[in-house]
Structure 1
Amino acid sequence: MRHSCALTALLVSSTTCFAQTGVDLYGIVDVGLRATDGLGANNAPTPPGRTSAVSSGVDQTSRWGIKGQESLGGGLKALFRLEGGINADTGAQAKSDRLFDRQAWVGLDSPYGQLAVGRQASLLSDALIPVDPIGKRFASLNPNINVAGLSNTAFGTHAFGRQYGPSGYSDNFYRLDNTVKYTGTVGPWQARAAYSFGEVAGDAAASSSHGVALAYQRPDWVVSGATMQFRSREGLPLDAWSVGAALKLDAWQFKANAARNVADTGPGKTVHQRVLSAGVSRQAGRDLLVTTAWYGVRREATGFRDDGFDRGFLFVEKTLGPRTTAYVEADYTVWRGDAAGLTASRSNDRHGTGMTLGLMQKF
């Protein structure tokens, strides 16, 4: 009986504490039925042939998180956020080695800006938020996330082959450990600066990253860009930048972005990547949003044939409720050079198509 009373008291006190500090549980569960031709279940090129699958995160990445804040007086607030990706089709964590692979940080917010410390998205990711033509949807297939934002550099013969910055992975530098990020807003201007510690003994620059970002935001238009440099453990540099704009005219919204990155991958070896993208969205009625976009990726690597791909998207989203959206997505990819590659010595299809019917629920 004493244990039961103690547990009840603990739960009550915890609830009171949470209410005072404003702790919230939130997330997205996005699952769709996807059919492809010339693309595998993981959206990699395949020989001609159709594939069907249940996919997670085609509209918005499935995730869950905990966030909170506490007022400290004088306009000062303490903040924290813990967020992890979910493969909603299997129930697995997006990253098996990390519970909170997307965000894990604590910070302070004041009239002079916000300072956050921990695992956070890169400044390239931040800069893309308002200007990506499809609104950073379909993260596993979106070239601005994969190529411009450096979330998948292991693609084909032009792979970087090493880790740059403290991301924890050899092919993904979209989110970085050990990061100190400052965000300041003055009128329509928003500026960010970040430094990620490599924490390599005896070499402060190794595996580190740093950069700045700047955005100018008005009610109907925005310009947003960022530049960053990453270092490998061996001191090899990866330099990247991204800049884009968005314009809203009545029910129409236009977005465009340009990005480029250059990595030294070894003595006398480099990989160059560039992405151009543009798209338009229209609110077709109160509950229907139609978005279409095109992305062009071009890549050069020492010792390899230049390659790349062009990819188009169409999203039609129907709002069913405040937290529920049904959607249809279609995509078409044309591979250039040797980008399509081989599967078991058989040439992959030079074209890839996909279509998804999905449902997204937010909580």
Structure 2
Amino acid sequence: MRRSCVLTALLVMSGTSLAQTSIDLYGIVDVGVRGSSGLGASNAPTAAGHVSAVSSGIDQTSRWGIRGREALGGHWAALVRLEGGINADTGASAKSDRLFDRDAWVGLETPYGTLAAGRQPTLLSDALTPVDPLGKRDASFNPNINVAGLSNTAFGTHGFGRQYGPSGYNDNFYRLDNTLKYSVKSGPWQARASWSAGEVAGDTQASSARGAALAYQEGPWAVSGATMRLRSKEDLPLDAWLLGAAYRLDAWQFKATIARNAADTGPNQTVHQHVYSAGVSRALGPGLMLTTAWYSVRREATGLANDGLERGFVYLEQALGPRTTTYAEADYTSWRGNAAGLTGNRPNDRHGAGLTLGLMQKF
């Protein structure tokens, strides 16, 4: 009888512990059949004419991850997240040198805010979440993510050509290693601050990054902004900021952003980038959503002609179930200046268009 009581008590205690701890495996697999003209399979400018491809992540980036939370009592909790990108069309990791290229951090949630440490998206990425007209769809082709969020600044001749902050890559600073990020909410307001260690011996500024962000969300309104300074290993600065707003009216949602960044790329050498965007979404029926967006990019670099692009998107999505969505996507790009570049000695097309039919499944 005594053994039975002890066993029952242990089972109750075990159940309580399990109820306070959660570990979840999650992910997205998004694959589409895409046809394009003036754009290659990776959406780079081309002179090859029509291209057919099976592509990953046209709606939402294909990914997988593990997230955990353990309640510690008194409104305290320990957090963990590991997340890696997937090229679902080939089964390869998005980054061959990293298993968890998107997130790898541990954190502590407290009544006074949340502190996380490890590889994390920048505050520019966080600030885009509520206000990007595409809702951060098509991450590899979305100018707000590429240029405003600094995930791919190397197209054409105006790339930075070096690493700023501890991202691990040239011309891609959307996620940073060695990052401490603190966030706190008060009513409709959320404030964030971050610092990323450059880990360069003898120089605490080289390859480092720091920033601050503020967001407001209440009722139909959302306003979000962030500013950051990143440094190269040579201690050259890259300054970036963005600001956006969103407004919901019945079945309609309107979003707009403005972003600018400027980098010193060498002695008396600079690159300036500007991004403007606007878009409208509307629910057309049960599970049916139409989203349109337009982006305008302008770039200036010392000794080079100004360039940029205009890019528009249309997405039509139909939810087939709680985790499954089918979609049609169309896009059009017009390159400015020499942004389209060359293939060998042949100029690439100055206009590009694409059409995708895809299926996305979440787990």
TM class by smaller structure: over 0.9
**SS at the partner of 2:144?**
helix
Question: Quick check: 1:223 aligned with 2:244?
Answer: no
Aligned counterparts of 1:66 and 1:48: Cα–Cα separation in 2: 41
Deviation at 1:18, TM superposition (A): 6.9
- 1:139-288 to structure 2, matched below 5 A, reads 139-288=139-288
Deviation at 1:183, TM superposition (A): 0.4
Match of 1:335 in 2: 335
Deviation at 1:219, TM superposition (A): 2.3
Partner amino acid, structure 2, of 1:22: S
Deviation at 1:17, TM superposition (A): 8.0
Match of 2:60 in 1: 60
Partner amino acid, structure 2, of 1:89: D
Deviation at 1:21, TM superposition (A): 2.2
Partner amino acid, structure 2, of 1:354: G
Aligned counterparts of 1:18 and 1:55: Cα–Cα separation in 2: 40
| Alignment CA distance shift 1:15-1:84 (3 Å) | farther
Partner amino acid, structure 2, of 1:95: K
Aligned counterparts of 1:100 and 1:180: Cα–Cα separation in 2: 17
Partner amino acid, structure 2, of 1:101: D
Aligned counterparts of 1:102 and 1:19: Cα–Cα separation in 2: 28
Listed as ranges, the gaps of 5+ residues in structure 1 are: 1-13
Aligned counterparts of 1:18 and 1:160: Cα–Cα separation in 2: 49
Q: Which runs of 4+ in 1 moved over 4 A?
A: 14-20
**SS at the partner of 2:127?**
helix
Match of 1:36 in 2: 36
The superposition leaves residues 304-350 of structure 1 with CA deviations (integer Å, 9 ceiling, x where unpaired) of 00000000000000000000000000000000001111101011111
Partner amino acid, structure 1, of 2:244: G
The superposition leaves residues 205-246 of structure 1 with CA deviations (integer Å, 9 ceiling, x where unpaired) of 000000000001112111000000000000000000000000
Match of 2:307 in 1: 307
**SS at the partner of 2:275?**
strand
Partner amino acid, structure 1, of 2:251: A
- 1:61-140 to structure 2, matched below 5 A, reads 61-140=61-140
Deviation at 1:286, TM superposition (A): 1.4
Deviation at 1:32, TM superposition (A): 0.2
Match of 1:326 in 2: 326
Partner amino acid, structure 1, of 2:133: P
The superposition leaves residues 126-181 of structure 1 with CA deviations (integer Å, 9 ceiling, x where unpaired) of 00000000000001100000000000021111010000000000120000000000
**SS at the partner of 1:322?**
coil
**SS at the partner of 2:285?**
coil
Greater mean alpha carbon deviation, residues 134-143 or residues 43-52: 43-52
**SS at the partner of 2:157?**
helix
TM-score scaled to structure 1, two decimals? 0.95
The superposition leaves residues 47-90 of structure 1 with CA deviations (integer Å, 9 ceiling, x where unpaired) of 15100000000000000000001011111000000000000000
The superposition leaves residues 287-310 of structure 1 with CA deviations (integer Å, 9 ceiling, x where unpaired) of 100000100000000010000000
Match of 1:50 in 2: 50
The superposition leaves residues 176-201 of structure 1 with CA deviations (integer Å, 9 ceiling, x where unpaired) of 00000000000111000000000000
Aligned counterparts of 2:267 and 2:31: Cα–Cα separation in 1: 44
Aligned counterparts of 1:143 and 1:282: Cα–Cα separation in 2: 22
Aligned counterparts of 2:349 and 2:144: Cα–Cα separation in 1: 23
Aligned counterparts of 1:104 and 1:17: Cα–Cα separation in 2: 25
Aligned counterparts of 1:227 and 1:38: Cα–Cα separation in 2: 35
Aligned counterparts of 1:68 and 1:42: Cα–Cα separation in 2: 34
Aligned counterparts of 2:177 and 2:39: Cα–Cα separation in 1: 32
The superposition leaves residues 3-50 of structure 1 with CA deviations (integer Å, 9 ceiling, x where unpaired) of xxxxxxxxxxx9998765200000000000000000000100011510
Aligned counterparts of 2:36 and 2:232: Cα–Cα separation in 1: 36
* Root-mean-square deviation over aligned CA pairs: 1.3
Aligned counterparts of 1:324 and 1:118: Cα–Cα separation in 2: 31
Aligned length: 350
| Alignment CA distance shift 1:118-1:137 (3 Å) | same
The superposition leaves residues 220-274 of structure 1 with CA deviations (integer Å, 9 ceiling, x where unpaired) of 1110000000000000000000000000000000000000000000000000000
Match of 2:358 in 1: 358
**SS at the partner of 1:339?**
coil
Report if aligned partners of 2:20, 2:71 keep a CA contact under 8 Å in 1.
no
Partner amino acid, structure 2, of 1:253: Q
Aligned counterparts of 1:154 and 1:297: Cα–Cα separation in 2: 13
**SS at the partner of 1:156?**
coil
